[in-house]
Amino acid sequence: MRHPVTLNRTVTDCQQVTSTHVDAVVVGGGIVGANCAVELARAGVDDVVILERDAPASKASGRAAGNLTIYRHERFGAEASRLGRELYEEYERKYDDLTFHRANSYSIAYSEEGADYLRSEHETTTIETTLLSTEELAEREPEFATENVTLALSIDDAVYTDPEQLTLAAHSVARDEGVTLVQEAARDFEVDNRGIAVQTTDGTYEAPVVVVAAGVWTKRLLQRAGTDVSLRARTSQIAILDPPTDVDLPLWSAPDLSVYGRSTPEGRVLFGGGTSTPVTDIESFRTRATVPFLRQVGELAPEVLPFLEDATLHDDWAGRVSATPDRYPYIGQTEIEGLYVCAGFNGEGISNSPFGARLLANLITETDPLVDPTEFDPTRFRGDEAFEISDAVEWWADR
């Protein structure tokens, strides 16, 4: 371990100030924090505490679409996706309330640029994919309007799940690994040569390793510790439509149109998107979808799926998602010895946090890293640079 000091868990009461010594503190009990805790415990870090100021999965992790893109593409390499699938399938086996839904999945291009991207994706990925012409898509999935489609890429057996249950499953596995979940908010940090003291609403946790995995709150927390990362908050939104007729749709994503969708297990239709609006105040955030997004869904739904012409809105919501300038997350140590970060997953944190958590554990325990960590180095940006928030569904911008 980079930090040879292993502090036993002791509690010192000193005039109402409680100080708890542990081996690692993870700040944030969303999917990222829970997966980090599982990986740290499994890497041999004995006494891990998760600090969550609210309920686990109460923020982005409970509001996501739950599409596990690691079954559809390999953004951070085949090994990273494989590891994620393995961990989540273990969660599914162990946690009764978690169900994985399998369906065909299509990336649908409505432009020549999109078609080029799908061809290159088809050539490079090790996941089995099939390129479909407009006619082939129409034959396979007759609900889709195909007159403006240029090409489609099909993947059999994609997976989606309830992201809240997935996060609770991660917490349950973490608990089985000996991790303690504490409902307290991290307020401040004090750094000295023995480690880092995290002051919370109710006391202090001291540890040689502190991981900030607090989603869009990560930047603010790191600033309190005296460091920074370049991270902004943006929205991601969902509309659930009641279709006039029952239909079983595959997962689909249309980056040219900035939307994606699928059927829900209840037979409704989920539309996701609205991902480029910055969140100016992360605390007073409105958790309903915005009017422009709902209008966009109202216009696009019948264009993509004509049977939705007379669909009605059943539900809608929005969540706060972190954005980074290069769309890569921050995984690793900050400028402060012992202070780590795992955040900035740019709208795919449900899918990609297993690999992020494993890489983080590799770095903390100084074992062979799963992938080259330099691309994820939290110090690669100054922290205060301005950058535009791009549309998260438009993944060919990442080329």
Ligand X SMILES: Cc1cc2nc3c(=O)[nH]c(=O)nc-3n(C[C@H](O)[C@H](O)[C@H](O)COP(=O)(O)OP(=O)(O)OC[C@H]3O[C@@H](n4cnc5c(N)ncnc54)[C@H](O)[C@@H]3O)c2cc1C
User: Least distance to ligand X from the beta carbon of 368, Å?
Assistant: 25
User: Least distance to ligand X from the beta carbon of 29, Å?
Assistant: 5
Written as six digits, the tokens of 60 are 């982005």
Which residues lie near ligand X (CB under 6 A)? Answer: 27-33, 51-54, 58-61, 63-67, 69, 185-186, 213-215, 217, 221, 236-238, 272, 319, 321, 343, 345, 347-351
Nearest to ligand X of 150, 258 (CB atom): 258
User: Least distance to ligand X from the beta carbon of 358, Å?
Assistant: 15
Q: What angle do CA 277, 155, 125 make, to 5 degrees?
A: 85
User: Least distance to ligand X from the beta carbon of 187, Å?
Assistant: 7
Written as six digits, the tokens of 342 are 């795992």
User: Least distance to ligand X from the beta carbon of 166, Å?
Assistant: 10
Nearest to ligand X of 208, 347 (CB atom): 347
Nearest to ligand X of 10, 287 (CB atom): 287
Written as six digits, the tokens of 237 are 């939104």
Nearest to ligand X of 148, 276 (CB atom): 276
The dihedral region occupied by 94, where left means phi > 0, alpha psi between -120 and 50, and beta the remainder, is: alpha
**CB 310, CB 354: distance < 8 Å:** no
**CB 229, CB 221: distance < 8 Å:** no
Nearest to ligand X of 115, 158 (CB atom): 158
Beta strands in the chain (DSSP E): 11-14, 17-21, 24-27, 48-51, 67-68, 100-109, 129-132, 151-161, 180-182, 186-192, 195-200, 204-207, 209-212, 232-242, 251-254, 259-263, 269-273, 312-323, 330-333, 339-343
